[in-house]
Amino acid sequence: MVALIDTVDGSNRPVGTQTDISKPSLIGLDRVALADRLTDLGVPERQIRMRVAQLWNRLYVGGAQTFDDMTTLSKDLRHALDSQVSLDRPEIVSEQISTDGTRKWLLRLAPGRPGEAAPEIETVYIPEEDRGTLCVSSQVGCTLTCTFCHTGTQRLVRNLTPGEIVGQILIARDRIGEWPGATRPTDGPLPNAERLITNIVLMGMGEPLFNFDNVRQAMEIAADGDGISVSKRRITLSTSGIAPMIPRCGVELGVMLAISLHAVRDDLRDVLVPINRKYPIAELLDACRAYPSLSNAKRITFEYVMLRGVNDSLADAKALVRLLAGIPAKINLIPFNPWPGAPYESSEWEQIEKFAEIINKAGYASPVRTPRGRDIMAACGQLKSASEKMHARKRRAEQVNISAMKETLR
Ligand code: SAH
Ligand code: SF4
C-alpha cells in the first residue's frame, strides 16, 4: 500500500495564492502585452524595453510571487504595478505526493463570471534520477469523446489561457523549489540534477491543438531562453490527430509531437478516437510525414493504448509496423488504465509482451518497460473532474500511464 501524503493536511484546504480576479495577472503575457501594461502605468517609452526585460527576468528566472520581490524595479513602479495587476497563479487546492516523488496538484481557476463554479484542472510532476517531467493540461475537460478516455466523458468547460498554462509550470517550480535560492522540499525524491523540470508534456486534460494559440503562447514563454528556458526539443505535444493543425504545430510551435494512434484500421479508430471520422489515418500519417525536421534523433511518438481483444492482436502489431514504415517514429504501448464504467479492459501482460516483441523486431526500442510508479497516484490522460474523490485502487491503476509518458521522452 502506498503512502499518499496530502500536504494540505488531508482536508483539501487551499494552499498558495488566492486568485484576485479584480487584478489581471501578468503571468502568460508576451513581451508586447507587458510593454502595453507598463505604458499604461506611465513608464516612459525609452525605458520600456529595459523594464520589460527586468520584469520578464523576475517573473520567469526569479519566480517572484510579489512585486516587493522585484528589487530590480524602482519602488514607485512596484507600487504602481501592485495597484493595477497581480502575479497570481491558479490557486492550489491540494498537493499530493507519492512515495516515489510524483506530485499532483489540483488547481482551481478563476470562474468565467462571478458566481460561476470555478473550474479545476490537474498538473502532474514526475521526477526521475536525471530528469523531471511536468504534465500540463491545456483545456478543462475535452470536447472529444475517445471511448477509452475518462477526460472525454467530461464536458469541456473552457480553454485554458496562456497564463493558466504557464501558471502550471510556475506552481510546479514554486512547490519543488526550482528558483534560485529556493529551498528544495525534502518530502519526496527529486532528480539529482540542477534542473528539476527538464521536460514538459502536453498530455494532461484537453486537446492542445484545439487551443492552439494559447498553447503556442504558453510554450513560447516556457521555451524562452531568457526565462523558463525548457528547450522545444524537450516539450512534447500529444494530439488525438487534428491533422490540419499538425503543420502549424511543426512550423509555429516546433515542439516534439506525439500522436494518439491507438488503432491501425479506420473502422476501429473511428470508434476509439471518433475524430478519426473527420481526419482518417491516411490523412493523419501524411501530416506526420510532412512534420518539419524529422530524423532518427527527432522522431514522432505514436501512442497505442492496449485494449484487450480490441486492438491488441499480433496482426495489429504487424499492421502497425507496416503503417509507420518510413516515418521516424517511436512507439509507446500504454496499458489501458481502467476507470469506473469504462467499456474496455487492459490487455493481458503476456499479450502486451508478444505485441511488443513484434514492434521490437521491427527495430523500435523497448516500447514497453516494466511500469514504474504503478503505486503512485496521478496520470495524464485519465483526468476527469479533478476534484472527484478517487478510490485508492483506481488511483493505483492510473499510474501505468506515467511510465508510458516517461517512455515518450526516451
Ligand atoms: N488529448 C490529447 C492529450 C491528452 S491524453 C491526446 O489525446 O493525445 C494523453 C494520452 O493518454 C493520450 O495518448 C491518450 O490517448 C491516453 N489515454 C487516455 N485515456 C487513457 C486510458 N484510460 N488508458 C491509457 N491511456 C489513455
Ligand atoms: Fe480528449 Fe485526448 Fe481524452 Fe481523446 S484521449 S478524449 S482527445 S483528452
Spans of all domains in the chain: 24-84, 92-390
CATH numeric code, 92-390 = 3.20.20.70
From 135, 146, 380, 407, active-site residue: 380
Summarize pLDDT for 157-202 with one digit per residue, the tens: 789 999 999 999 999 999 999 999 999 999 999 999 989 999 999 9
| pLDDT score at 338 | 85
- Locate the DSSP E strands across 148-234: 158-159, 199-202
Helix (H) or strand (E) holding 354: helix 349-361
Q: What is the DSSP letter of 25?
A: B
Catalytic site residue 122?
yes
* Per-chain mean pLDDT for the chain: 86
CA distance to 110, 137, 166, per residue, from 62 (Å): 25, 24, 15
| pLDDT score at 156 | 66
Q: Is the fold of 24-84 the same as that of 92-390? A: no
Ligand in closest contact with the CA of 275: 2
| pLDDT score at 2 | 31
From 122, 178, 207, 303, active-site residue: 122
Q: What distance in angstroms lies between residue 292's CA and the mean position of ligand 1's atoms?
A: 24
Q: What distance in angstroms lies between residue 146's CA and the mean position of ligand 1's atoms?
A: 9
Tell me the C-alpha distance between 338 and 231, whole Å.
34
User: What pTM does this model have?
Assistant: 0.89
Low-confidence ranges of the chain (pLDDT < 50): 1-20, 369-377, 380-381, 384-410
The CATH fold of domain 24-84: DNA polymerase; domain 1 (1.10.150)
Check: CB of residue 149 under 8 Å from CB of residue 381.
Answer: yes
| pLDDT score at 247 | 97
| pLDDT score at 181 | 92
